[in-house]
Amino acid sequence: MAPRSAEPGLNGKHTTARRSDRFLHGLKDVTSVTFVSHVHPDPDSIGSMMGLAHLIEVCLGKPTRFTRDGLISRAENRAMVDLLDLELVPIEEAAAAEGEVFVMVDSQPNTGRHNLTGDVPLYAVIDHHDTPGDLDGVPFVDVRRSLGATCSLVTSYLMEQNIAVPPDLATGLLYGIETELSGYPREASPLDDGALLYLYPLADKDLLARIRNARLPQSHFECILQALQSSFIYDRLIISWANDLPQPELAAEVADFLIRFEEIDWAVCAGVCEDKLILSARAAVEDARAGELLKQVVGKLGRAGGHDRRAGGTIPLPSTSASAVEQMRSELRRRLLDALHIDECRGQRLVSRREMLQNLQS
Ligand SMILES: [Mn+2]
pLDDT at site 131: 86
CA–centroid distance, residue 107 to ligand 1 (Å): 8
pLDDT at site 31: 98
Q: Give the mean pLDDT of 339-348.
A: 94
Q: What's the CATH code of the domain at 25?
A: 3.90.1640.10
Asked if pLDDT for residue 93 goes beyond 60, the answer is yes
Q: Give the mean pLDDT of 223-232.
A: 97
In-domain check, residue 8: no
DSSP characters for 149-205?
-HHHHHHHHHHHTT----HHHHHHHHHHHHHHS-SSS----HHHHHHHHHHGGGS-H
In-domain check, residue 4: no
Q: Are residues 280 and 138 in the same domain?
A: no
Asked if pLDDT for residue 12 goes beyond 80, the answer is no
In-domain check, residue 12: no
Listed in sequence order, the residues at least 6 apart from 164 whose beta carbon sits closer than 8 Å to its beta carbon are 3, 5
Q: Are residues 137 and 260 in the same domain?
A: no
Asked if pLDDT for residue 13 goes beyond 90, the answer is no
C-beta of residue 219 within 8 angstroms of C-beta of residue 202: no
Question: Quick one: DSSP state of residue 5?
Answer: -
Map residue 55 onto helix, strand or coil.
helix
pLDDT at site 3: 47
Q: Are residues 232 and 336 in the same domain?
A: yes
This prediction has a pTM of 0.92
Last residue of one domain, picked from the residues 195, 212, 229: 212
* Structural domain count of the chain: 2
Distance separating alpha carbons of residues 213 and 70, to the nearest angstrom: 23
pLDDT at site 281: 98
As a whole number, the mean pLDDT across the chain is 94
Q: Are residues 70 and 192 in the same domain?
A: yes
CA–centroid distance, residue 235 to ligand 1 (Å): 30
Strand partners, 238: 233, 267
Position 149 confidence tier, pLDDT thresholds 50, 70, 90: very high
CA–centroid distance, residue 230 to ligand 1 (Å): 29
Asked if pLDDT for residue 5 goes beyond 90, the answer is no
Asked if pLDDT for residue 314 goes beyond 80, the answer is yes
Please state, for a pLDDT cut of 70, what percent of the chain lies above it: 95
Q: Are residues 250 and 166 in the same domain?
A: no
pLDDT at site 8: 41
Cis peptide before 185 (omega within 30 of 0): yes
In-domain check, residue 275: yes
Distance separating alpha carbons of residues 264 and 259, to the nearest angstrom: 7
In-domain check, residue 7: no
In-domain check, residue 14: no
CA–centroid distance, residue 102 to ligand 1 (Å): 18
Q: Are residues 206 and 224 in the same domain?
A: no
Q: Are residues 73 and 179 in the same domain?
A: yes
Q: Give the mean pLDDT of 295-324.
A: 95
Position 15 confidence tier, pLDDT thresholds 50, 70, 90: low
Asked if pLDDT for residue 223 goes beyond 70, the answer is yes
pLDDT at site 111: 87
Last residue of one domain, picked from the residues 160, 185, 212: 212
Position 11 confidence tier, pLDDT thresholds 50, 70, 90: very low
Last residue of one domain, picked from the residues 174, 193, 212: 212
Q: Are residues 198 and 284 in the same domain?
A: no
Lowest mean pLDDT among 14-18, 56-60, 84-88, 209-213: 14-18
Asked if pLDDT for residue 252 goes beyond 60, the answer is yes
CA–centroid distance, residue 270 to ligand 1 (Å): 21
CA–centroid distance, residue 34 to ligand 1 (Å): 18
For 145, counting Cβ atoms within 10 Å of its Cβ (0-12 exposed, 13-18 middle, 19+ buried), the class is: middle
For 32, counting Cβ atoms within 10 Å of its Cβ (0-12 exposed, 13-18 middle, 19+ buried), the class is: middle
CA–centroid distance, residue 229 to ligand 1 (Å): 30
Q: Are residues 324 and 356 in the same domain?
A: yes
In-domain check, residue 337: yes
Position 113 confidence tier, pLDDT thresholds 50, 70, 90: confident
CA–centroid distance, residue 320 to ligand 1 (Å): 30
pLDDT at site 104: 97
pLDDT at site 344: 86
Q: Are residues 249 and 203 in the same domain?
A: no
Q: Are residues 57 and 116 in the same domain?
A: yes
Q: Give the mean pLDDT of 164-183.
A: 96
CA–centroid distance, residue 41 to ligand 1 (Å): 9
pLDDT at site 117: 74
Q: What's the CATH code of the domain at 285?
A: 3.10.310.40
Asked if pLDDT for residue 6 goes beyond 50, the answer is no
pLDDT digits (tens, 9 = 90+) for 201-212: 999 999 999 999
In-domain check, residue 347: yes
pLDDT at site 92: 93
200 lies in which domain range? 19-212
pLDDT at site 14: 47
Q: Are residues 87 and 180 in the same domain?
A: yes
